[in-house]
Amino acid sequence: MEISGAHFFAPEKYGMIQNPNINELLSCIPVNSISTSDDGDDQNHKPGIVIDERKQRRMISNWESARRSRMRKQKHLDELWSVVLHLRTENHSLMEKLNQLTDSEQQLLQENVKLKEEALNLHRMITDIQMGSPYTTHLRELEEAPCNTFVIMAESSSQSDE
C-alpha cells in the first residue's frame, strides 16, 4: 500500500517473531554451574563458568527486553494503522460530501441562469405591452401631470360642505 510516495506494509506482514523456547536457552547453561552469589560453601566454582552463567542470564535478559521492545513496536504500528484506516474513511466521507455539494452548486447555478432569463423575458413582455397599448399615452400623461393631494383634499372637503 502506498501513501504519498512512501511504502507501508499491512500490519499482518509484521508478524511477531516467535519466542524461542526459554528452556532451550536455559539448557545451554550447565546444571552444575547454576549457583547464586550466596553459595559460599561451594568451592568448586571456576571463574569461567560464572562468567558463562552471567552471559547466559544477560543473553536471556536481552532477549526478553528485545521481545518487549518488538511487542511495543508492533502495538504502536497497529495503533498507527488504526489511525490510517480512520483517516481514510473520513477522507472518503469528506470527498463524497464535497462531490454532493459541487453537484448542488452546479444545479443552483443553472437554476439561477434560468430565473434570470425568465425575469428578462417578463420584463421585455411588460415593456412590449406598455408600448403597444393605446392607454400608454394616457398613462404617461397622468404620470407627467402634477399631483397635489392637498389641493384635491381641499376641493373635496369644500364640495362636501355645500
pLDDT of 96 strictly over 80: yes
Percent residues over pLDDT 90 in the chain: 43
* Residue 42 contacts residue 53 (beta carbons within 8 Å): no
Provide the residue count of the chain: 162
Measured in Å, how far apart are the chain's first and last C-alpha atoms?
Answer: 102
Confidence of residue 27 (pLDDT cuts 50, 70, 90): low
pLDDT greater than 50 at residue 79: yes
- Which pLDDT tens digit goes with each residue over 108-149? 999 999 999 999 999 999 888 888 776 656 656 656 666 565
CA distance 68 to 127: 88
What are the residues facing 7 on neighbouring strands? 2
Residues 56, 31: contact at Cβ < 8 Å? Answer: no
- Torsion angle defined by CA atoms of residues 104, 105, 110 and 113, in that order, rounded to the nearest 10 degrees: 140
- Give the closest residue to 15 by CA, choosing from 85, 83, 78: 78
Q: Model-level pTM greater than 0.85? A: no
Kindly report the number of other CB atoms within 10 A of residue 141's CB atom. Answer: 9
